[in-house]
A and B are shown apart, each in its own frame.
Chain A
Amino acid sequence: MKIHLQPLGLLHPLWQFGFYLIPVAMLCTVSFWLLQDFQPKPALDLQNYQQLLTNHVYQQGLFSSLKLALAASVLSVVLALPLAFAITFAITDRFRRFFIFALLWPFFSNYVTRMFSMQLLLGEQGVLNQVLLKLGVIAVPLKLLYSEFAILLGLLSILVPVSAMIICMSLTKLDRTLLDAASNLGASKLQTFSRISFPFALPGALGAFMYSFIVSIGDFVCPRILGGNQVYTLSILIEDRMKVNDWPMAAVLGVMIMVASLVVMSAVLYGFTLTPTAMFAQRQARQNES
């Protein structure tokens, strides 16, 4: 068995080396290059990083991206949690597969096309405005498209289903007999939820948050198609730099996304260690060791 596992075990570091460390090293290297007459030239210069710190456009890009990514991640988890609970507890086994399939069905279509079709939904002459106008809810069409709201909606359409799946996976570890025991011992539904079900969902929620944050901070399609470039995010900034062959500045912005993601992820992971669920797990681990 060991003989088979050893070469397999090598796959992970090899994968990380080839598809993560080498590209990241290249990204960092290019970030020190300079752009001369629209051509990147190898150098070891901090000029691009200096620009990053002094040019408010880049700082604004970072702020917009972080704001958008945090909002999308929080909303994604908030919306995915009830969905995951419903799929895990409120639906019979027979229908669960169908619901999961229905949730993931939109992913069989192209992401860019889906976002363009959302334009038809959110436009001033779009379906949503027309329905609201006909129902008399609004007197003039709402300006939904080319806004932060539209970007968030687009992001949530791709984040919520996957987040729900991640939380579902976490909830499947929950031993149902615990719920019965709690009920038998006189716990209310709210107590059962807050003391048993929710703590079990937390690791999944954390995973869903991290997934949502990483996807949304680097997403380029939603800000471009649904946001109409009205929210100047880091990904749009990167595209703008690439348009003029400015690989060095685009690389710096890439590094910035990486660092920002690491900081946020670390903060969230640290925050998670302070939750009762994590403390309980740590206590259990210590007890097992002793």
Chain B
Amino acid sequence: MRSRVAVTVSVLACCFFLLAAAEAAPQKELNLLCWVSYEERSMLEPFEKKYNVHVKYKTFVSDDQMYALLGSSKHQYDVVTLGPEYVEKLHKIGRLAPLNAADYDFKDYIKPFQKFPLCWFDGKLYAVIDGYGANALLYNTNHLTAKDVETYDILWSPKVKGKVGIWDWYLPTMGTLSSALGNNPRPTDLSQQKFQVLDQKLMKLRPQVAAIFGSPSELTTAVANDQVWIVPGCGEWISAIVREQGKPVDWAVPKQGGQMWIEALSIPNDAPHPDVAKLYVQWMQTPEAQKLKSERKAYNCNVPNKKAYDLMSKAHKDALKVHNEEEAIKLIDKLAVRRLPSQQPETTWQDAWQKFKAAP
């Protein structure tokens, strides 16, 4: 009888101490509003383990969606991933918290990203860049040659009729087609006349289209399965993944140039856990996290921290076509930073996109 009591007391005591220990070291929480891919376990686990943080996330597949989600939330998200074109927009409506630049380490960043203009307003930092890539041309090397993709004209060629893949977001595709029309370095800053030309060019592309894909992963599958041979607005971010599967795919920036998409991290002004948010942004700047980010499963990318390239395999760097800072800068020079339409309302571009989708 006595021993039973002793065992019961011991078990209860153990439970009490375990509960007390759990209470003593509460797990911190981070709420992430992010592009698909940031939620991959390979990206989150090292951060969660290192800082004893539990990351909750909500994903999106276009910055339009991010803007709508953030706009309709209050005290919900600690960190938001966004393109610099949206940093400006969110800053204008006072939705982002200024960051203390001294808290973040830019010394190993390649030069163009050390003090990127679109992340700074009135001398204050509002976003930290953690990745970038090309909106150019992705193509199947079994069906097309590097010479074929020297210009964007191949997109309208009978050779690829019914084989053009499109990602369902107006900005990358329309921006890239605008580059194709010679509108770099500001492909989204178009007069009404130039916009109409772009609209017509877009509609002419419709009969060439195999399918319009709702997410990068669906696009990746179609490229890998030979359903599409060429994708405007695409680049290393899909090519690297498909090449890893042994598929004959490559990417190129045609002579008219392309666009550069950039991913950055910002902290909303109503972040419930700003300290944990700062830790996350700092972590994402480290070479280790940058390598993980570059090698994500959903889509790959180049990263601003040059030290991350020392940790990557040669095959991965080959797929990115960037091995060092010099090559990174050469690539960036060919690309125009992706921006929001400036001379027309966004809805005008979105309506044109909807018309394109609905066309037979």
Contacts and interface: CB of A to CB of B under 8 A. Distances in A.
Tell whether A pairs with B.
Answer: yes
Interface of A: 37-39, 56-57, 60-61, 119, 123-125, 143, 145-146, 224-225, 227-230, 232, 236, 239-240, 243-245
Contacts of B358: 56-57, 60-61, 232
Closest 5 CB pairs of A and B: A228-B211, A245-B68, A229-B212, A146-B211, A232-B358
B272 interface: no
A230 B226 contact: no
Among B62, B162, B168, the one with the most A-chain Cβ atoms within 10 Å of its Cβ is B168
B245 interface: no
B71 A38 contact: yes
Given A57-B358, A143-B162, A244-B65, A229 B226 contact: no
Contacts, number: 66
A125 B226 contact: yes
A60 B354 CA distance: 12
A125 B140 CA distance: 15
Contact of A243 (B62, B212, B213, B221): B62
Contact of A228 (B72, B210, B354): B210
A229 B71 contact: no
A123 B223 CA distance: 12
A245 B212 contact: no
Contacts of A228: 210-213, 222
Interface of B: 62, 64-65, 67-69, 71-72, 162, 168, 209-214, 218, 221-222, 225-227, 350, 354-355, 357-358
A245 B350 contact: no
Contacts of B357: 229, 232, 236, 240
A229 B227 CA distance: 14
Nearest to A239: B214
Given A57-B358, A60-B358, A124 B227 contact: yes
A146 B209 CA distance: 10
Given A119-B221, A228-B222, A244-B64, 17 more contacts: A38-B64, A38-B71, A39-B72, A57-B358, A123-B226, A124-B226, A125-B225, A225-B218, A228-B210, A228-B212, A230-B209, A230-B211, A232-B357, A243-B64, A244-B65, A245-B71, A245-B72
Nearest to A35: B347
B322 to A, nearest CB: 31
Contacts of A245: 67-69, 71-72
A37 B72 CA distance: 11
B227 A123 contact: yes
A45 to B, nearest CB: 16
Nearest to B169: A243
A208 to B, nearest CB: 31
B65 A224 contact: no
B34 to A, nearest CB: 16
Contacts of A60: 358
A143 B209 CA distance: 13
Contacts of B218: 225
B64 A146 contact: no
A228 B212 CA distance: 5
16 contacts: A38-B68, A39-B71, A119-B221, A124-B226, A125-B225, A125-B226, A146-B227, A228-B213, A229-B212, A230-B212, A240-B357, A244-B350, A245-B68, A245-B69, A245-B71, A245-B72
Contacts of A240: 354, 357
B39 to A, nearest CB: 18
B214 A224 contact: yes
Nearest to A120: B225
A60 B356 CA distance: 12
Nearest to A123: B225
Nearest to A60: B358
B51 to A, nearest CB: 33
B72 A229 contact: no
B185 to A, nearest CB: 27
B62, B212, B350: residue with the most chain A Cβ atoms closer than 10 Å: B212
A57 B72 CA distance: 27
Contacts of A123: 225-227
Contacts of A125: 225-226
A229 B168 contact: yes
Contacts of B68: 38-39, 243-245
A59 to B, nearest CB: 10
B67 to A, nearest CB: 6
B314 to A, nearest CB: 30
Contacts of B350: 244
A243 B64 CA distance: 7
B67 A38 contact: yes
B222 to A, nearest CB: 8
Contact of A229 (B67, B214, B225): B214
A119 B218 CA distance: 11
Nearest to A57: B358
B1 to A, nearest CB: 52
